[in-house]
Amino acid sequence: MSTASNRKTEQKTVKAFEADIAWINEEAKLRNCVAAEIIHELCEASRRMAYLQELGESFDLLTENAQQLAAFKAETEAWDCTVADGLSDAT
């Protein structure tokens, strides 16, 4: 967990429901951090979930289109051969 002092200048006041504020403060107390860090973690988790959901939806659309799926598989196969090119130690 990052230190609160690094983010003090970035913090703003936000409105939230009383029950949510109570939960956030309880979590902060249990984790020995400030409420802003809990809110930040929740936002990051939400961003990751939204990204994965969009990725899944995009993949579903891809698999529904046979022509696009074939093109995707062909490109993937072309790139897969680079794994066996003997350059795994190259930097």
Domain ranges of the chain: 14-81
* pLDDT tens for each residue of 20-69: 999 999 999 999 999 999 999 999 999 999 999 999 999 999 999 999 99
Comparing 80 with 44, the larger pLDDT belongs to: 44
pLDDT of 1 over the 80 cut: no
Give the per-residue pLDDT at 60: 95
Tokens of 34: 């400030």
- 86 backbone φψ class: left, alpha, beta (φ>0; ψ -120 to 50): left
